[in-house]
Amino acid sequence: MTVARGEHYLYVTWLSKLMAGEVNCLWSTWFKVHYKDFAKQPPSYELAVHVAQHSQLLAELTAERIERGERTLKEAQGFFRVALSKTMVIGGKPDLVTIDAAGQGVVYDCKSGKQKHSDILQVMLYMLCLPYAVPAVKGKRLAGCVVYRTGERIPIPAEAIDDSFKQSARHFANLLDASMAPDRVPSAPECGFCDITVADCPERIATLPPHLAEVPALDWGVLSTA
């Protein structure tokens, strides 16, 4: 049963997708920040495959960093909660945090899918928050790295966490902390990936509308295709 949260709770992954413009319906994230225990869409087999691929990639990365003599904090070991206001807390658990012999910390996140801007922003949010909450890296300036299943890695320097980035994160966090719900912005592509059901979002689009399901042929008239 859907109930209001005692505190507004924001996951890093939700905020990164908003900042990247990958979620257009602000209401869907606002709702999850303000409410919990709501009915969710059932998971798909594609998600199960994705989880298995992610777990393998993370295990391989962890073994690599341990072999290099680095201290590792894996998933729940790096879990954090940081207050953003009197009413909102942001939380998350990066895939892997490593600390080398010189004391340099790096935040890693593994991705088994295609590259997205939110992947980088997610790691940057971890880089911003972890030094406030996790004892092993408290007060440190952290670097970051996104690791893809294809083998590509995108390093993120500690200097990326500047005032401009902080201001952008704060802008979206404030929108989600607001007491008044924003308007819903339902769309077939986005609703298809949203886990909120019609029980809480009666405007949810369950199937493609006719104008999207059917692809009409464009009559070019006298225009040449050459």
Residue 225 burial class via C-beta count within 10 angstroms: exposed 0-12, middle 13-18, buried 19 and up:
exposed
Domain-located, residue 215: no
Span 44-66, mean pLDDT? Answer: 92
**Number of domains within the chain:** 1
List of residues 6+ apart from 15 with CB closer than 8 A: 29, 90, 125, 169, 172, 173, 176
Q: Give the percent of the chain with pLDDT over 90.
A: 83
Domain-located, residue 217: no
Grade residue 67 by pLDDT with cuts at 50, 70 and 90.
very high
pLDDT at 42: 85
Grade residue 214 by pLDDT with cuts at 50, 70 and 90.
low
Residue 71 CA to residue 68 CA, distance in Å, equals 9
Residue 183, domain extent = 3-205
Domain-located, residue 90: yes
- Which CATH number belongs to the domain containing residue 63 in this structure? 3.90.320
Average model confidence (pLDDT) for the chain?
A: 93
219: pLDDT strictly greater than 80 = no
